[in-house]
Chain A
């Protein structure tokens, strides 16, 4: 999976608890993305980063925050998890931030919020 590691791979948590997902890359790509994948919705962009400490919102950012303190790490935090955030979360990286950049994906994190 192109030098991208997501952790944890699986997580079960309870409603109202904070959750942090980690994405680590060894490719030194500038751009990093967090997506969620749900049946019938395809992949939807949550947040993305265009550099250290530079982040922006995507299509479905409500209830999520991100941080990027190093080039290689991009964290996704659910401040207070809800059942609607049960999903599979994917991290992706790219060299180009424009839509013509090819994205490389991690293996995903399956999150269940009970």
Chain B
């Protein structure tokens, strides 16, 4: 399966600290997306990074992509209680549909 695998599965940090989560995948991709899911809600798109890009920013979010290692990381800087959520990577390769990983559950401790 092309499914991305997030690491760690769960992460707890103090408010104000930075949070980093990783996604590894198995075959070459066209692009990779990150989504956030708050408890009891649907997923919300955060960032899309294409295979020819190495880094993208959006506010406090920074996503990197290393195609040689088949991995991506999502960095959330200066975390807030509202960042408590599950974060999913989703990979696209070939003509296939988007494939979602199992997620990282992030808890921000006030």
Residue ranges of A at the interface with B (Cβ–Cβ < 8 Å): 1, 4, 33, 35, 40-45, 48, 58, 90, 92, 98-108
Asked whether B43 lies within 8 Å of A90 as measured between CB atoms, the reply is: yes
For chain B, which range describes its interface: under 10, 10 to 19, 20 to 34, or 35 or more residues? 20 to 34
* B102 contact set on A, CB distance < 8 A: 40-42
- Chain B hits for A1, CB < 8 A: 41-42
Cross-chain contact B97 with A90 (CB below 8 angstroms) = no
Report if A105-B92 is in contact (Cβ < 8 Å); known contacts: A99-B30, A99-B97: no
Q: Known contacts A42-B88, A99-B98, A107-B41; can you find 15 more A-B pairs with CB under 8 A?
A: A4-B42, A35-B100, A40-B102, A42-B3, A45-B97, A45-B99, A98-B95, A99-B30, A99-B31, A99-B93, A100-B50, A102-B45, A102-B48, A105-B42, A108-B42
The 3 closest A-B pairs by CB, nearest first: A99-B92, A105-B42, A43-B100
| Inter-chain contact A99/B96, CB cutoff 8 Å | yes
Interface pair B97/A43, CB less than 8 Å apart: no
Cα of A104 to Cα of B43 in the assembled complex, Å: 7
**Which single member of B33, B40, B92, B100 contacts A42 (CB below 8 Å)?**
B100
Enumerate chain A residues within 8 angstroms of B88, measured Cβ to Cβ: 42-43
In Å, the complex CA distance between A59 and B110 comes to 40
- Known: A42-B101, A42-B103. Is A102-B43 also a contact (CB below 8 A)? no
User: Could you say which residues of chain A place their CB within 8 Å of the CB of B50?
Assistant: 100
Asked whether B30 lies within 8 Å of A103 as measured between CB atoms, the reply is no
